Structure 1
Amino acid sequence: MQQLDELSSLIAQHTKGDGVFSTAIPRLWLIRQSKRTEPFQGVQHPALCIIAQGSKQVLLADELYEYGPARHLVASADLPITSQVVEASPEHPYLSMRLDLDLAALGAMMLEVAQPAPITVQKTCGKALCISKSDPALLEAALRLVRLLDAPDDIAFLAPLIEKELLYRLMRGDQADKLRRMLMPESRLVQVNRAIAWIRDNYDKPFSIDRVASEARMSTSSLHAHFREVTAMSPLQYQKQLRLQEARRLIMSEALDAATAAHRVGYDSPSQFSREYRRLFGAPPIQDVSRLKVVPATYAQAGA
């Protein structure tokens, strides 16, 4: 598809080497990787991700999502994921763009845009991650947004208009219902997002399910059911993933020893921390971090 070829060319032009690159356009990121990566963990924030070249796998709990060119992923909550570039080479690198969702703009648009007719939900749209086919109108808007990087004087005026068009395309596409539920004040997705936000703010402290349910304005049974429906994990499993990811970041970026990092994120037992760390990341802390330091650019792609 000509649109994908041009989008690939533009992303390659504006990414020098492997990694995740911010741009002059607010909320727009470009990603490049010249080889298959190891699986890496991170938190995926609400975003639209479009792959121009190559392919990627995303694991949410035990549910696997794979997508490549002409398909896009939308995340509608903060989700601990494991991501891996599975198709890339120096000659044909993995190239993608990520637009972090402006929830305020989406909320305003929800009031303006008529709800489309119901669309059969795809199997790739069971949780707060959805994968859909990218139609030409969506790709054309994405392409025009990235083209603005070559016209910096136009960004301030035109980028918000094109971003609004992209949001409009999403609100009229087969993920419209999930996006609307993300924004409706008392929808289950909004309630679960309240629980997620509270856990993220208090991940290093013990908590009761009753407290989280109260923060979400749900019953405990409803919280358990709908939290798993959105995230594919329980609230306690979600907390554990956040703790371990933050401990990994502390060991990597602040050179903390494993015991100090474990205590910092809320673990009382170093041995329990070590067991759970190895279970999630596949190696003990010291060995895992030594491996990460060899591939820092790849590590930065977690969650992108």
Structure 2
Amino acid sequence: MNEARESILVKSLAQRLSELTPHEGRFATPLADVTLMRSDHDTEPATVFEEPAIVLALQGIKRGHLGDEVLTYGAGQGLVVSLPMSFQCDTVATRPGSPMLAIHVRINLETVRDVVTHMVDAGMPAPPAMSPRAMAVMTLDAPLLDVTRRLFTALASKVDAAVMGASLVRELHYRVLQSSAGVCLRELITWRGRVGTVLRSIECLRAQLDKDWQVADLAREASLSSSAYHAAFKDLTGQTPMQYLKTARLHRARQLLGLTSRSSAEVAFEVGYQSPSQFSRDYKRQFGVPPSQDRGTSL
């Protein structure tokens, strides 16, 4: 498929996505791991805590700010986030009446592991030992656009989604693994690469946010020296391990506050803060509002 035909297909998919998203917002689908996104206006950079995900842009522009680096992707491009991580993102609708349209697919590590096993068994070599950042932009080539088209068709029918949805999401994982952004994703399921070792430590950290973590503890979980771990972590995520820990605690606190009526102090202690006043200061600095304002809002 040449570039002209791919451009036509992107526009066609954008039209279908526009029909599935009648107004601005995020839309759940019959598939739990698939969410549709529409933004009718430009947005200012906002901090998000993103789980491993694939985001396919079909119209407009999205940007991810990772440290000093800005990853920009627009219609016909996608973003792969291979680690649970915090970064800023914003949206450009490009022009009035032309909203940003994208599809968000949560990465399933078991699916990645199974697909990579089959790829290697079929003769595809293992990825190199070193990976770039844990975020990467890719071009939506013909196979990726084709599976996206078939996924949209399935989403229009609950029966089709129930019968074919899982296999289509699996195929989407496979096509992404074959793309230029596939290296960091493939390395997720091997402990020898930087992405895999850092992920292992992140899983331990997030399972015990209230623990008094030190870099040496996390480095031990990753089987790296403290200096090597610190460098790899910052290179991949754009944050130091301690910056990441604070951000993870604050985002978890925001979830807890939105779902419960517990006091800010109770939530602060649950996520690992020893000082409620420090928690309140960090929370307001991160989200622009005091924790009391987010209590019971189901964020």
Match in the other structure for 1:111 = 117
Relative to 1, partners in 2 of residues 1:106 and 1:222: Cα closer, same or farther, differing over 3 Å? same
Amino acid at match of 2:124: Q
Aligned equivalent of 2:104, options 85, 98, 106: 98
1:162-181 to 2 correspondence within 5 Å? Answer: 162-181=168-187
Match in the other structure for 2:93 = 87
1:232-247 to 2 correspondence within 5 Å? Answer: 232-247=238-253
Amino acid at match of 1:210: A
Could you give the per-residue CA deviations for residues 43-70 of structure 1, whole angstroms, max 9, x where no partner exists?
Answer: 2111111011111122234432221111
Match in the other structure for 1:63 = 69
Match in the other structure for 1:200 = 206
Shift of 1:234: 1.3
1:1-304 to 2 correspondence within 5 Å? Answer: 1-87=7-93, 91-113=97-119, 114-115=123-124, 126-254=132-260, 258-281=264-287, 283-285=288-290
Matched residues, number: 288
CA distance in 1, matches of 2:262, 2:96: 35
CA distance in 2, matches of 1:118, 1:261: 41
Relative to 1, partners in 2 of residues 1:213 and 1:52: Cα closer, same or farther, differing over 3 Å? same
CA distance in 1, matches of 2:186, 2:22: 37
TM-score after normalising by structure 1: 0.83
CA distance in 1, matches of 2:163, 2:237: 37
Q: 8 Å contact 1:34–1:88 — kept in the other structure?
A: no
Q: 8 Å contact 1:56–1:86 — kept in the other structure?
A: yes
Shift of 1:148: 1.0
CA distance in 1, matches of 2:114, 2:94: 38
Q: 8 Å contact 2:40–2:93 — kept in the other structure?
A: no
Shift of 1:275: 3.6
Match in the other structure for 2:3 = none
Gaps of 5+ in 2: 1-6
Amino acid at match of 1:54: G
Aligned-residue CA RMSD (Å)? 2.9
Bigger relative contact order (CA 8 A; separation at least 6):
1
Could you give the per-residue CA deviations for residues 113-154 of structure 1, whole angstroms, max 9, x where no partner exists?
Answer: 2437999x9xxx831010112112211211111111223333
Gaps of 5+ in 1: none
Could you give the per-residue CA deviations for residues 51-92 of structure 1, whole angstroms, max 9, x where no partner exists?
Answer: 111111222344322211111001111111222223266622
- Classify the secondary structure of the residue corresponding to 1:38: strand
Q: 8 Å contact 2:39–2:93 — kept in the other structure?
A: no
Shift of 1:17: 2.6
State percent identity of aligned pairs.
30
Q: 8 Å contact 1:28–1:97 — kept in the other structure?
A: yes
Q: 8 Å contact 2:264–2:292 — kept in the other structure?
A: no
Q: 8 Å contact 2:127–2:187 — kept in the other structure?
A: no
Relative to 1, partners in 2 of residues 1:240 and 1:147: Cα closer, same or farther, differing over 3 Å? same
CA distance in 1, matches of 2:250, 2:49: 12
- Classify the secondary structure of the residue corresponding to 2:16: helix
- Classify the secondary structure of the residue corresponding to 2:206: helix
CA distance in 2, matches of 1:130, 1:73: 6
Relative to 1, partners in 2 of residues 1:61 and 1:202: Cα closer, same or farther, differing over 3 Å? farther
Amino acid at match of 1:22: A
CA distance in 2, matches of 1:251, 1:117: 43
- Classify the secondary structure of the residue corresponding to 2:233: helix
Select between 180-189 and 152-161 the one with higher mean Cα deviation: 152-161
Amino acid at match of 1:285: P
